[in-house]
Amino acid sequence: MTIRTLTRRAALLAATAAASLALAACGGGDGAAHAGHGGSASPAASATAGTHNAQDVTFAQGMIPHHRQALEMAKLADGRASSARVKDLAARIEKAQDPEIRTMTGWLTAWGEQVPMAGMDHSGHAGMTGMAGMMSDDDMAALRKATGADFDRRFLSLMVEHHRGAVEMAGTEKSGGAYGPARTMAGDIVRAQNAEILEMKRILGGS
Protein backbone atom coordinates (compact mmCIF):
# COMPACT_ATOMS: atom_id res chain seq x y z
CA MET A 1 0.00 0.00 0.00
CA THR A 2 1.46 3.37 -1.04
CA ILE A 3 1.92 6.37 1.16
CA ARG A 4 -0.60 8.25 -1.03
CA THR A 5 -3.29 5.59 -0.41
CA LEU A 6 -2.71 5.67 3.35
CA THR A 7 -2.95 9.44 3.33
CA ARG A 8 -6.29 9.30 1.46
CA ARG A 9 -7.73 6.76 3.90
CA ALA A 10 -6.66 8.82 6.90
CA ALA A 11 -8.31 11.92 5.43
CA LEU A 12 -11.53 9.97 4.75
CA LEU A 13 -11.67 8.64 8.32
CA ALA A 14 -11.09 12.13 9.74
CA ALA A 15 -13.90 13.57 7.60
CA THR A 16 -16.30 10.78 8.64
CA ALA A 17 -15.52 11.34 12.34
CA ALA A 18 -16.05 15.09 12.00
CA ALA A 19 -19.43 14.55 10.34
CA SER A 20 -20.53 12.16 13.10
CA LEU A 21 -19.56 14.67 15.79
CA ALA A 22 -21.48 17.43 14.02
CA LEU A 23 -24.63 15.28 13.80
CA ALA A 24 -24.37 14.33 17.48
CA ALA A 25 -23.99 17.97 18.45
CA CYS A 26 -27.10 18.90 16.48
CA GLY A 27 -29.09 16.11 18.07
CA GLY A 28 -27.92 17.12 21.55
CA GLY A 29 -28.88 20.71 20.90
CA ASP A 30 -32.44 19.69 19.98
CA GLY A 31 -32.74 17.59 23.10
CA ALA A 32 -31.57 20.43 25.30
CA ALA A 33 -34.04 22.79 23.69
CA HIS A 34 -36.94 20.40 24.31
CA ALA A 35 -35.82 19.82 27.89
CA GLY A 36 -35.74 23.56 28.42
CA HIS A 37 -39.37 23.82 27.27
CA GLY A 38 -40.78 20.91 29.20
CA GLY A 39 -38.51 19.45 31.86
CA SER A 40 -37.27 22.60 33.53
CA ALA A 41 -40.14 25.06 33.35
CA SER A 42 -39.95 28.20 35.43
CA PRO A 43 -42.03 28.39 38.67
CA ALA A 44 -44.39 30.85 37.00
CA ALA A 45 -44.88 28.56 34.00
CA SER A 46 -45.51 25.51 36.18
CA ALA A 47 -47.93 27.50 38.33
CA THR A 48 -50.06 28.28 35.29
CA ALA A 49 -49.89 24.74 33.87
CA GLY A 50 -52.76 23.32 35.94
CA THR A 51 -50.68 22.34 38.95
CA HIS A 52 -52.93 24.18 41.43
CA ASN A 53 -56.61 24.09 42.30
CA ALA A 54 -59.26 26.40 43.77
CA GLN A 55 -58.24 25.51 47.32
CA ASP A 56 -54.68 26.70 46.66
CA VAL A 57 -56.05 30.05 45.45
CA THR A 58 -58.35 30.34 48.49
CA PHE A 59 -55.45 29.52 50.81
CA ALA A 60 -53.16 32.20 49.36
CA GLN A 61 -55.89 34.84 49.08
CA GLY A 62 -56.94 34.22 52.68
CA MET A 63 -53.55 33.77 54.29
CA ILE A 64 -52.06 36.97 52.83
CA PRO A 65 -54.42 39.35 54.72
CA HIS A 66 -54.28 37.02 57.74
CA HIS A 67 -50.48 37.31 57.81
CA ARG A 68 -50.65 41.06 57.19
CA GLN A 69 -52.76 41.51 60.30
CA ALA A 70 -50.32 39.40 62.32
CA LEU A 71 -47.49 41.66 61.11
CA GLU A 72 -49.47 44.76 62.09
CA MET A 73 -49.95 43.32 65.57
CA ALA A 74 -46.31 42.25 65.86
CA LYS A 75 -45.00 45.69 64.87
CA LEU A 76 -46.86 47.25 67.80
CA ALA A 77 -44.85 45.22 70.31
CA ASP A 78 -41.56 47.07 69.92
CA GLY A 79 -42.80 50.32 71.44
CA ARG A 80 -45.54 48.97 73.71
CA ALA A 81 -44.58 45.59 75.19
CA SER A 82 -42.88 45.37 78.55
CA SER A 83 -41.79 41.73 78.23
CA ALA A 84 -38.60 40.89 76.35
CA ARG A 85 -40.15 37.50 75.53
CA VAL A 86 -43.14 39.17 73.89
CA LYS A 87 -40.86 41.45 71.87
CA ASP A 88 -38.75 38.48 70.76
CA LEU A 89 -41.85 36.51 69.74
CA ALA A 90 -43.20 39.47 67.78
CA ALA A 91 -39.87 39.84 65.94
CA ARG A 92 -39.92 36.15 65.01
CA ILE A 93 -43.48 36.42 63.72
CA GLU A 94 -42.44 39.30 61.46
CA LYS A 95 -39.38 37.40 60.22
CA ALA A 96 -41.40 34.29 59.35
CA GLN A 97 -44.58 35.74 57.89
CA ASP A 98 -43.34 38.62 55.75
CA PRO A 99 -41.46 36.32 53.31
CA GLU A 100 -44.51 34.01 53.18
CA ILE A 101 -46.67 36.95 52.08
CA ARG A 102 -44.24 37.68 49.24
CA THR A 103 -44.20 34.01 48.19
CA MET A 104 -48.00 33.71 48.12
CA THR A 105 -48.28 36.98 46.23
CA GLY A 106 -45.97 35.50 43.59
CA TRP A 107 -48.15 32.41 43.29
CA LEU A 108 -51.34 34.39 42.78
CA THR A 109 -49.65 36.64 40.22
CA ALA A 110 -48.35 33.61 38.30
CA TRP A 111 -51.81 32.01 38.36
CA GLY A 112 -53.49 35.18 37.10
CA GLU A 113 -55.52 35.45 40.32
CA GLN A 114 -56.32 38.58 42.34
CA VAL A 115 -53.88 39.52 45.08
CA PRO A 116 -55.71 40.88 48.17
CA MET A 117 -55.27 44.62 48.52
CA ALA A 118 -53.31 46.02 51.45
CA GLY A 119 -55.67 47.07 54.22
CA MET A 120 -57.92 44.01 53.84
CA ASP A 121 -56.57 42.63 57.09
CA HIS A 122 -59.40 43.23 59.55
CA SER A 123 -62.54 41.14 59.98
CA GLY A 124 -64.59 44.28 59.34
CA HIS A 125 -63.61 44.28 55.65
CA ALA A 126 -65.85 42.57 53.11
CA GLY A 127 -64.86 38.95 52.71
CA MET A 128 -62.82 38.90 55.92
CA THR A 129 -65.71 38.45 58.37
CA GLY A 130 -65.73 34.67 58.32
CA MET A 131 -61.95 34.20 58.32
CA ALA A 132 -60.76 32.21 61.31
CA GLY A 133 -58.87 34.13 63.97
CA MET A 134 -59.05 37.59 62.39
CA MET A 135 -59.15 40.50 64.82
CA SER A 136 -61.91 43.09 64.56
CA ASP A 137 -61.25 46.82 64.19
CA ASP A 138 -62.18 47.21 67.87
CA ASP A 139 -59.65 44.53 68.87
CA MET A 140 -56.91 46.29 66.95
CA ALA A 141 -57.85 49.72 68.32
CA ALA A 142 -57.69 48.40 71.90
CA LEU A 143 -54.30 46.78 71.24
CA ARG A 144 -52.90 50.05 69.87
CA LYS A 145 -53.96 51.89 73.03
CA ALA A 146 -52.49 49.33 75.43
CA THR A 147 -48.98 49.53 76.88
CA GLY A 148 -46.80 47.58 79.28
CA ALA A 149 -48.17 44.46 80.95
CA ASP A 150 -51.66 45.22 79.63
CA PHE A 151 -50.33 45.19 76.06
CA ASP A 152 -48.47 41.92 76.71
CA ARG A 153 -51.63 40.15 77.91
CA ARG A 154 -53.79 41.51 75.10
CA PHE A 155 -51.20 40.77 72.45
CA LEU A 156 -50.64 37.19 73.58
CA SER A 157 -54.34 36.42 74.00
CA LEU A 158 -55.25 37.86 70.60
CA MET A 159 -52.29 36.25 68.85
CA VAL A 160 -53.17 32.82 70.25
CA GLU A 161 -56.58 33.11 68.61
CA HIS A 162 -55.02 34.52 65.44
CA HIS A 163 -52.59 31.61 65.24
CA ARG A 164 -55.37 29.08 65.80
CA GLY A 165 -57.17 30.56 62.82
CA ALA A 166 -54.06 30.28 60.66
CA VAL A 167 -53.55 26.66 61.72
CA GLU A 168 -57.15 25.88 60.77
CA MET A 169 -56.74 27.51 57.34
CA ALA A 170 -53.44 25.72 56.78
CA GLY A 171 -54.99 22.38 57.74
CA THR A 172 -57.66 22.88 55.07
CA GLU A 173 -54.93 23.56 52.50
CA LYS A 174 -52.99 20.45 53.51
CA SER A 175 -56.04 18.24 53.01
CA GLY A 176 -57.50 19.87 49.89
CA GLY A 177 -54.74 21.72 48.05
CA ALA A 178 -52.99 20.45 44.93
CA TYR A 179 -49.99 22.80 44.61
CA GLY A 180 -46.97 21.21 46.29
CA PRO A 181 -45.27 24.40 47.53
CA ALA A 182 -48.54 25.67 49.01
CA ARG A 183 -49.14 22.43 50.87
CA THR A 184 -45.55 22.52 52.13
CA MET A 185 -46.01 26.07 53.40
CA ALA A 186 -49.26 25.02 55.06
CA GLY A 187 -47.43 22.26 56.90
CA ASP A 188 -44.76 24.72 58.03
CA ILE A 189 -47.45 27.09 59.31
CA VAL A 190 -49.15 24.33 61.29
CA ARG A 191 -45.90 23.28 62.96
CA ALA A 192 -44.52 26.75 63.65
CA GLN A 193 -47.71 28.38 64.85
CA ASN A 194 -48.77 25.46 67.06
CA ALA A 195 -45.37 25.74 68.73
CA GLU A 196 -45.84 29.50 69.19
CA ILE A 197 -49.31 28.95 70.64
CA LEU A 198 -47.77 26.73 73.34
CA GLU A 199 -45.07 29.33 73.93
CA MET A 200 -47.60 32.16 74.31
CA LYS A 201 -49.72 30.10 76.70
CA ARG A 202 -46.64 29.50 78.86
CA ILE A 203 -45.88 33.23 78.92
CA LEU A 204 -49.50 34.03 79.82
CA GLY A 205 -49.46 31.39 82.54
CA GLY A 206 -46.41 32.96 84.12
CA SER A 207 -47.60 36.56 83.93
* pLDDT tens digit sequence for 95-104: 999 999 999 9
- Which pLDDT value is given to residue 12? 47
Question: What is the rounded average pLDDT of the residues 118-125?
Answer: 55
pLDDT in tens, 101-116: 999 999 999 999 999 9
Residue 172: pLDDT over 50: yes
| CB burial of residue 113 (10 Å; 0-12, 13-18, 19+) | middle
- Comparing 18-27, 80-89, 162-171, 183-192, the range with the smallest average pLDDT is 18-27
Could you tell me the pLDDT band of residue 207, with boundaries at 50, 70 and 90?
low
